Structure 1
């Protein structure tokens, strides 16, 4: 019998009701997180990364948001249909969350020690004195100097990096099995970013944590993640081990992300942006959502979403270029990865021959 995943997201769909209609923010997302691994969910702003994380935690505000399909399974138990009371028992104790902006995640009117103590008292039934000692230990663990003094200070008395460490301490207070980190290094300078990433890696190794990190920074992904999930317009377009996706990206959107990264190991190259804008999620396309921006788009891309193609080792990409009926696919894929599409575009008309099939 195959080992059970710690977290499974299966065909998750989330809508937000507005005066203009329903925004289909997440449209059938599926992936998993295993024990002790770090999975990164990447993509540009508005692709549904943070909404997916909020849905896992049961934090979608209703109204206007609601889960309209799919399920989230944690340790074999479906949590999408749980009551608020049941979810409160899981949040913090089993699943911790590091929010994007530590200044808004922390209560400015409460001392940081009290904010750490709350979860310990609720989930571990510790006395206030015991919880306070544990809070000091947690601040020391995340690298905050003089924790005996700092535990009685307010968030505004900490720097941005130190506030993020406090948020991590709160997330880890009850020793959860999974930590969801939503853009944990946003707005921090590169030195502090490196320290936060090193901290997460160290704590994961010491506590056998599983980490789901939400980010748009591929440098963060390369530094910390084992596997990555690439999202675009509310769907997963590619997933696989980090080394596989970085070495051999298989979806045109992933190619675009890679071509827009500056390189430090060779001659200077012009960064190639992804032209166009994401689709309207009030009326999302029936086919591949990236078709309007794709250099290789075919007629069938606009009409039907492709099934994921498998490349071994769990590496998958949902793109019609990998359909077995597509001629000269090797040349197209190679040209796309290199960013040299002129020759490849001459062959696109051949791929349209099966669009009417």
Structure 2
């Protein structure tokens, strides 16, 4: 007992700090001047914030961070994967000519931090580490990317960020299973985890906050990958609604609905094609929605709306490359699109279909329904098909396909 007490007394005591006495600067936001990134972060960066950004190779992580460095000013960009000449080539392609961006090729975390200490007098605004899996410290054995090396390097970066009040962006690799490579503690010790996703064959990119100590985790940033880099899309409906709307020439099999990405309503276009077949097992192909959910909706259409779809191949697609696999609010739009393609009758171009369809053919309310309808009306969709207007799918098809 006395030995334990003596050991405790030998430790230097920390002085508690009053919450009210903490300087306001510690919670001041720094705008990244990239609107969609600011949206996901909750209004901008916080001094000393450590952000882990992960995503598949080639999705645009390094491009986003190089554009960020150009926007916020004096930034140290640490590359463990590319040479400075390769980064220069990318910067030229993106039109970046900021002289305050400093590049180093290094993977020794202690050497990097020593370099950073020497640059603090130059009002360093941020640090980019690309990537954490290439970093190492000579204090530990093991290769770069090992559990111990990743954990220790991350701890040292976090400690430096808190001491210096300089925000740090860390690039993280992902595994085949879709999780961040390295120890699970990596996601726990950083302040924010951002997930960059999208189909590399398309230009759409989505940035989500998986964890955020200084803001919400239900916001989504939408970007377009162009020749000159990533472009923030403040009005992404222009990408998702691809068909030119001509009131005089509506197209059969084309219906607009509204999904929620976090707290953000997005209008998307559902496209359907129904083709007669003589094969014993007709095709059911879905892109952008869950294939099993699509088969359920086809069964509901056959049983509750008397559509003989067992004699037809059915195809469904969500335009723009976005996925709505976890949002049942698009059920009614999918059913409308299939029925419209089957009868070859177009639905009004000003109609928005919104609702979950039950196995009994009933149409149900969806979350944030009023917010979605308000967004649709703002964009000119004045005719809404929801559970307020119609209660059952068969009734809805008769009503809206006859207009």
* Superposition TM-score, scaled by structure 1 size: 0.39
Larger radius of gyration: 2
